[in-house]
Amino acid sequence: MYPTECPQSPHSLPGLIVSVGIVLLLFCVARGPAVDVAAEVYARADADFCELIDRRLRRSSLMRLALFSPATASLDGVQLDEWCRGQRSFRFPGDSDESAMFVQGPTPSVAGVRVDAFPLEAAHVADLKSFTAECWFRWHGKGSRPGPNAADIASIMSFGDAINHGWGLSLNLVTGHVTFSIGRDKPQGAASITSVSRIPPHVWVNVAVVRDADSVRCYVNGLLSAVGKGVGVSGTAPPWAKLRLGYVGNGLGSAVCDFAGAALYDQPLTDRDVFRLNHTKVSVQMMSSLLKARSLLVAGQPSEALVVLWNCEEATSQSCGLTEVESYLELEQIEDAARSAAAVISSGDAAAHSSTHSPTVTTLSATEFTKAAVRFLLRAVENGVTFRSSREHRLTGQVNAVRTELSGAAVESLRDANAQYAAEQLQICSEQLSEIFTSTMQSRLQRVCGACHHADGWVTDARRIFAVQQDVDAETAILRADLIEVLASRTMPPRGSDPLSDSDRTSFLRLLRDLPERQSCSRQETSQNRLRQRRRLTRTEFRNSLFELVGVRPGDALLPPSDGGGGEGFDTAAGTLTMSLSTAEQMHNCIASVVRTGVREGGSSVLQQILNEFDAGDPDISDSLLDFAERAWCRKLTADDRELIGSLTAELRVADANAAEQAEGLVAFILMSGDFLFPWIRSDGEGLDRSARAWILARRLALFLWSSHPDATLLQRASDGSLLSPKILESEVQRMLADPRAASLGYNFGEQWLGIRGFTSNVAPENFHPSFTLPVREALMTQAGNFIASLLTTDRPLGDLLRSRVHWMNDDLVDFYGFDQPGTGWRQVSLPDEYPGGVVGLGAVLASTSYPARTSPVLRGRWILDHLLGVRVQPPPPDVPPLTETDESAGSADMKTLMEQHRRSVACRGCHAVMDPVGLTLEGFDAVGRRRRGNDLRATLQPRGTLPDGTELVDAAGLEGWLQSESRAVYRQFARKLLGYATGRRLTLEEICEVDRILDACDASSLSGRMLVQKLVLSRTFLGWSPETDESGLE
């Protein structure tokens, strides 16, 4: 029983109801087995609209409460007023407990209506911690506030008193925003969210609110419009609490609204569910169109925006928001758009037209644009009336009212405001669409991959993979590509765990591939080359450059600490080369010490010359010193430079320094200057003359190819500017590669790329493998460096990376391998065919991917995937079940059997399904990289592994064959890393594309290392400008 209920005289009912313009009919309550609670109220809606909603509610298997039949009478009638004053409630016919009560708002002239839907037991509704409520309403643009000083907030739908208990959905009568709140007057437990969308007057809208375990959300027309973390704390609703539409009291006003239906679901619907309730389908194409239209509208090109939307509707047979946009655009603008489209067609100059527009539009080809324009024009003309009526429907009465009252200027500004509003709406709409898409895809990804990868960055941060945006950063693009790759290759999800059906896989892949606005290789990105950048010399470069200039090699203890690394994984990464007092001090001490030794004990010839000039006591500044400064700083000296050097010379003389001390001081000064320690590594050349650009290029070239300073020849080419000519640049690259200094490509780039730095100190101590002595480890390291250096400096083809078994060995290594290879010093020796070809066979690689006591197929497999193929291997998920691994010396364990444990576990299977078989093929080689022999139990086993696609790899030869089939990826990874090393930063997607173009332009496997280096040097990525543009300008 309800306290508000009061006895009614049955005979008076029909008249009353008719007189207030509302007919109430009771429908049977249809309780679906799965849904416990729902309420539905129809009031005063257009017949067809009500029917539509009725159908939809039936289809959603909701329990329906009551239907207010269609009526046309106005709400603010006097009869209602009387009815309200009576505070009487209406009892539905039949034996139901349902009743409704009409309550007048605080301002009698704008009465509100409150419908209390009684049959829902308060306790039942109050128990709903997670729910969805929605209603359709049409706001007539006015309402009343509860008191003179109260806010203009009107209740739309509520449960309980919407303040101390229950929740409420309210409308701001001024701004049109809707607010959903729970427990509003309890700040610590309040949840209140306000929509970004505004409710337009005179238009039917659907507003849905959702509360789930950790958030509250509000949707307008199916699109997410507000989200709040925190779900609010609501007091326990008393038994008389009501689910209400309209006026509720408690400080809230009433809005003059029509209601067409309301529903309460006993579960939180997802974004997608809510969207689906309102729209039947969201397509990628639709989103893409909306994004384009949005940017066009913002750019003040409404006609183009409409073309895009027309096109979308045509193709998808879905509403793409066209009517939304139209409704807010002035008719004149639409007609303008139609006219301009007509003009385009009639002039037949579609190409010229399209080229004058924003880049987004030019992505439509000229033909596409013409087609779109034709379609648009025809539709526009045919539907002119529709435009008009829809505009009149949807543009609020405000516009017309204001139009009559305001001046022309005000109308203009109103139009602008409307256009802006339309753009905003569209933006919100497209953002919400992409939001829905992104979160749907994210949750799918989490469902599919999350069981094993729940802690991985790409899963926890999966949004960026699916974010619908124009500019995709390289990392995200790579993530997408990786994801596509593993899905397409069926590597993931691992078989057996399978959470992904074939059709799901296909649709998932298609969505990923069709993500709009993926950057393509054809797009030219120029902005980032406009940077100018310096970075500190690395430890290695510092050492080599000092030697080049001073002629003295500093000892290791004098050098600054080793550098970290970043970018593509090298110490040359500009961002991570830092400077602190200790580093600076050590650099200075090193310079001082080296210069002192050079001056006193004989260093480079330049140094001798400088000393000679000081010895001669010439009062002028030493010419050799100035030459030296020019050489060290790689630029022409300025007057300021000369003056500074002059004043330091004078100071030193005043201090009574002898010739040697003077020379030392000045040379040290030159080397301590930032010009020497912080070379330019990027320069677009803007504002620089030819020679300055050439100097900078010379230094960068020397850092790349020699990890050192330019020599005299290179500096000569720089100072006369000839280095900028591609032909001379090519010949310089070849000269430098032939120089012994290019060995740095091995010991610096090679060691870092192979990931074997630290190998000499970190691998097994000698007493476990007695023959694996420090000299052997150092020799293996040198061997690995030599392999890469000789590949990059000679005509050896890139294919050698995977094929060649010819390695450099010294006596230590020949003994270590037990080869009978006479000779002295470092010599080239062929490994037997049973060894893996290329870098995989390098002892340094095989040993540094092993544990001291045993081999690790996992580490080896991972190394091949990560270093050679560029496949991102995720770290093991936390809480992996233990894998029993025994010491190799136990002798009984068959590594393959152990590995099978990995693959039985679902958590491990995915990654290990690829890593293990790849690594297992190398089981014939022990922890220090030698072929197993004799009494080693595993010497006789034939190592084999089966890839996820069923390919069986047998022994190292099987691995080599498989790598050959994947060789394109290997060359790409190698070239990419080399370019990343050279540029000292992570490559952007366009830059990786440039690597692809270089490799695609020829047969990559026969491309020689020398040519690869040359092509990379002449790339736009390395140079910072296109080499062709300079050729024409030369001489």
Partner 1 sequence: MNHLEYHSRSRRRFLRGSGLALSLPYLPSLEARRFQKEGTHSPPLRAAFLHFPNGAWMQDWTPKPGADSLNLSSSLSPLAAHRSELTVLTGLDKQHSRTSDGHAHKTANFLTGMPVRTTTEGDFSAGGISIDQRIAEYLQGQTPVPSLVLGVEPIPAGVDASTGVTLLYSSCISWQSLSRPVLPQNAPAAVFDRLFGVRAEVDGVSVSRISLLSKVLEHSRSLSRGLSAVDRQKLDEYLESVHQMETRIRFETQHSEHRSLRYSAADFARPPHPEQFSSHLSAMLDLIVLAFRMDATRVISLMMANDVSQQVFQMPHGISEPHHSLSHHQNIPDRIRQYQWINQWYVRNFSGLLSRLRDVSEGDGTLLDYCMLVFGSGMSDGNEHHPDDLPVVLAAGERTGIQGNRHLQTPVGTTPLCNLYLSLLQRFNSEERQFGDSDGILF
The nearest distance, CB 270 to partner 1, in angstroms, is 26
Q: Is 916 in the site for partner 1 (CB under 8 A)?
A: no
- Packing angle of the helix pair 408-453, 397-405 (nearest 10 deg): 150
Q: Give the max Cα distance, the chain.
A: 129
Question: Is residue 891 involved in binding partner 1 (CB under 8 A)?
Answer: no
Residue among 10, 359, 617, 687 that touches partner 1 (CB under 8 A): 687
CB 212 within 8 A of CB 232: no
Of residues 623-662, those binding partner 1 (CB under 8 A)? 640-641, 644, 647-648, 651-652, 655, 657, 660-661
Residue 969 binds partner 1, judged by CB under 8 A: no
**Is residue 848 a contact partner of residue 761, using CB atoms and an 8 Å limit?**
no
> Per rule CB under 8 A, is residue 15 in the interface with partner 1?
no
Spatial separation of the C-alpha atoms in residues 764 and 930, rounded to whole Å:
14
Nearer to partner 1, 361 or 595 (CB): 595
Which 3 state secondary structure label does DSSP give 618? Answer: coil
Contact 974, 839 (CB under 8 A): no
Rounded to the nearest whole angstrom, what is the least distance from the CB of residue 852 to partner 1 in the complex?
Answer: 5
Handedness of CA 967, 969, 972, 975 (dihedral sign): negative
CA distance 744 to 725: 25
Provide the mask over 589-628, with x wherever binding to partner 1 is found by CB under 8 A and - wherever it is not.
x--xx-xx--------------------------------
Residue from 132, 195, 289, 586 touching partner 1 (CB under 8 A): that is 586
Of residues 767 and 935, the one with the C-beta less far from partner 1: 767
Residue 456 Cβ vs partner 1, minimum distance, rounded to whole Å? 8
* Residue 428, CA distances (Å) to 309, 319, 466 in order: 15, 16, 18
496 contact partners, CB below 8 Å, separation of at least 6: 906, 909
Nearer of residues 731 and 762 to partner 1, judged by Cβ: 762
Question: 865-884 mask for partner 1 (x: CB under 8 A)?
Answer: -x-----xxxx--x-x-xxx
Q: Which stretch binds partner 1 (CB under 8 A): 148-156, 434-442, 508-516, 845-853?
A: 845-853
Distance CA 838, CA 467 (A): 40
Q: How far is the CB of 561 from partner 1 (least distance, A)?
A: 4
Between 185 and 766, CB nearer to partner 1: 766
For the bound state, the minimum distance from the C-beta of residue 637 to partner 1, rounded and expressed in Å, comes to 11
Q: Which residues contact 114 (CB under 8 A, 6 or more apart)?
A: 101, 102, 103, 244, 245, 246, 247, 248
Region near partner 1 per CB under 8 A, out of 436-444, 528-536, 826-834, 837-845 = 528-536
Element (H, E) at 116: strand 114-117
> Out of 562, 828, 830, 942, which residue is the one contacting partner 1 (CB under 8 A)?
562
Least separation, in Å, of the C-beta of 875 and partner 1? 5
890 binds partner 1 (CB under 8 A): no
Smallest distance from partner 1 to CB 750, Å: 13
695 to each of 579, 700, 734, how far by Cα in Å?
25, 9, 18
Least separation, in Å, of the C-beta of 331 and partner 1? 49
Which tokens hold the place of 826? 């470092």
Distance CA 766, CA 260 (A): 84
Cβ–Cβ contacts within 10 Å for residue 86, how many? 13
Helix (H, G, I), strand (E, B) or coil at 331: helix
The answer to whether 113 touches 146, Cβ cutoff 8 Å, is: no
Contact between 259 and partner 1 per CB under 8 A: no
Q: What residues numbered 293-352 form the site for partner 1, per CB under 8 A?
A: none
- Asked if 95 touches partner 1 (CB under 8 A), the answer is no
Task: Yes or no: say if 780 and 930 are a contact pair by the CB < 8 Å rule.
Answer: no
* Number of amino acids touching partner 1 (CB under 8 A): 92
Q: CA–CA distance from 72 to each of 12, 43, 44, 46 (Å)?
A: 21, 10, 6, 8
Q: Minimal distance in Å, beta carbon 711 to partner 1?
A: 24
Q: Map the footprint of partner 1 across residues 714-773, applying CB under 8 A.
A: 752, 755, 757-758, 761-762, 764-765, 767-768
Residue number with CB closer to partner 1 (270 or 589): 589
Q: Please count the helices (runs of H) and the strands (runs of E) in the chain.
A: 45, 21
Of 194, 533, 609, 1026, the one binding partner 1 (CB under 8 A) is 533
Nearest to 826 by CA among 769, 785, 771, 794: 785
- Applying CB under 8 A, among 1, 385, 581, 712 the residue interacting with partner 1 is 581
91 binds partner 1 (CB under 8 A): no
Name which position in 534, 827, 896, 931 contacts partner 1 (CB under 8 A): 534
**Coil vs helix vs strand at 657:** coil
Can you tell me which of 336, 517, 675, 739 binds partner 1, judged by CB under 8 A?
675
Shortest spacing between CB 981 and partner 1, in angstroms = 10
- Taking CB under 8 A as the criterion, the residue among 194, 673, 773, 964 binding partner 1 is 673
Regarding 167 and contact with partner 1 (CB under 8 A), the answer is no
**Least CB distance to partner 1 at residue 677 (A):** 7
Kind and range of the H or E run holding 274: helix 271-278
d(CA 973, CA 240): 70
Binding to partner 1 by residue 559, rule CB under 8 A?
yes
Site stretch for partner 1 (CB under 8 A), options 97-105, 121-129, 220-228, 558-566: 558-566
Binding to partner 1, residues 459-498 (CB under 8 A)? 475
Report the side by side order of strands in the sheet with 131-144: 223-228, 216-220, 204-211, 131-144, 254-265
Query: How far is CA 437 from each of CA 272, 486, 880, rounded to the nearest angstrom?
Result: 8, 21, 32
CB-wise, 106 or 554, nearer to partner 1?
A: 554
C-alpha dist (Å) from residue 152 to 104, 126, 148, 253, 1010: 16, 28, 10, 7, 76
Q: Does 778 bind partner 1 (CB under 8 A)?
A: no
Q: Which residues pair with 139 in a beta bridge?
A: 257
Window contacting partner 1 (CB under 8 A); options: 212-220, 494-502, 553-561, 809-817: 553-561
Contact with partner 1 (CB under 8 A): which of 15, 300, 397, 674? 674
Using CB under 8 A as the binding rule, whether residue 857 contacts partner 1 is answered as no
- Complex with partner 1: residue 90 or 680, whichever CB lies closer: 680
Cβ partners under 8 Å of residue 79, min gap 6? 16, 19, 20
Q: Indicate whether 457 belongs to the interface with partner 1 (CB under 8 A).
A: yes
Distance CA 779, CA 769 (A): 16
Q: Is 38 or 625 the residue whose CB approaches partner 1 more closely?
A: 625
